[in-house]
Amino acid sequence: MSDLELALSELRVEWPETPDLAGAVEPRLVAPPRRRRLLVSRPAWQIAVACAAVVIAVVMAVPPARSAVLDLLGFGSVRIERGEPRPSRFASGLGLGDAVTLDQARRRAPFDVLVPSSLGEPDAVYYSDAPPAGARVDLIYRARDGIPEASTTGAGLLITQIPAIAEPAIQKTIGASATFERLTVGGDPAIYIGGADHGFAYVTESGQGQFEPQRLAGPTLLVERSDGVLLRIEGDIPRDKAVEIAESVD
């Protein structure tokens, strides 16, 4: 043994304790892996959205591609159209004309189609312009509190507006059981017919008399408005109620 080896063997060194490496590593091995967050800068995100929008626009601009995409998404058989509401056909059995919406009736009629503010918009609207009677608008209201269903119409109220007058034809169409009363409604001459034994007769602007023999009418209020339009309100309601409704027509 050389002198160096002998000196090293006699050298005493105080080594530190070996650390517990296994105890430090084991918890990391059994713990679930941490989720890594993918950080995308705002400019990159905006660019991605812009690119996607361009691709979608290009694809939807080509009819075959658009059809394929819609079929893939389950929308291939769906059609989206914008149109007017479908008119109600309530009380269509009265044969009053074409079922229309209130807006359609106002566009077609050569006079102002007015609605009773006390009732609001009608449940159904019908329009007719068959010669020689000319334009006619009928507003139908369902039965409600204070307005029972009328046996003559199956509705609560039938309100008719037509350019015409009631005199003198109306006096020739009432039956023996009907009552006839003259009055004024909103400054306009009016006629109230009680009972249910009468028809609906009027004189058109051309001077021709018209009579509807299809059915007998119930209690009816006729108002010859100053604008030349005959307002007719039919329903099983008292006279005062009919007058109140007529006065709210504006």
Report, as an integer, the average pLDDT of 7-36.
65
Residue 198, strand partner residues? 174, 217
Q: Which residue has the tokens 């009552």?
A: 179
Helix (H, G, I), strand (E, B) or coil at 20: coil
Per-residue model confidence (pLDDT) at position 134: 82
Select, from the ranges 36-45, 70-79, 163-172, 240-249, the one with the highest average predicted confidence (pLDDT). 240-249
Question: 212 to each of 96, 122, 171, 205, how far by Cα in Å?
Answer: 11, 23, 14, 17
Q: Percentage of residues in the chain with pLDDT exceeding 90?
A: 44
Distance of alpha carbon 13 from alpha carbon 11, whole angstroms? 6
Per-residue model confidence (pLDDT) at position 122: 98
Amino acid identity for residue 58 in this structure: V
Per-residue model confidence (pLDDT) at position 118: 96
Per-residue model confidence (pLDDT) at position 68: 65
Q: Which two tokens mark 62?
A: 């080509």
pLDDT at 249 over 70: yes
Predicted structure pTM score? 0.64
Per-residue model confidence (pLDDT) at position 74: 60
Q: Percentage of residues in the chain with pLDDT exceeding 70?
A: 53
Q: Answer whether 172's CB lies under 8 Å from 164's CB.
A: no
Per-residue model confidence (pLDDT) at position 15: 59
What's the mean per-residue pLDDT of the chain? 79
Report, as an integer, the average pLDDT of 2-31.
65
Per-residue model confidence (pLDDT) at position 175: 66
pLDDT band at 239 (very low <50, low <70, confident <90, very high): very high
Q: Answer whether 106's CB lies under 8 Å from 161's CB.
A: no
Q: Answer whether 183's CB lies under 8 Å from 210's CB.
A: no
Q: How many CB atoms lie within 10 A of CB 224?
A: 19
**With b meaning 16 or more CB within 10 Å and e meaning fewer, what string describes 28-39?**
eeeeeeeeeeee
Amino acid identity for residue 96 in this structure: L
Per-residue model confidence (pLDDT) at position 179: 83
Residue 121, strand partner residues? none
pLDDT at 41 over 60: no
For 124, residues 6+ apart whose C-beta sits below 8 A from its C-beta are 87, 88, 89, 90, 91, 92, 99, 139, 140
Per-residue model confidence (pLDDT) at position 195: 77
Of 48 and 156, the structure prediction assigns the larger pLDDT to 156
Per-residue model confidence (pLDDT) at position 125: 98
Q: Answer whether 127's CB lies under 8 Å from 104's CB.
A: yes
Of 148 and 34, the structure prediction assigns the larger pLDDT to 148
Phi-psi region of 222 (alpha: psi -120 to 50; beta: other; left: phi over 0): beta
pLDDT at 248 over 70: yes
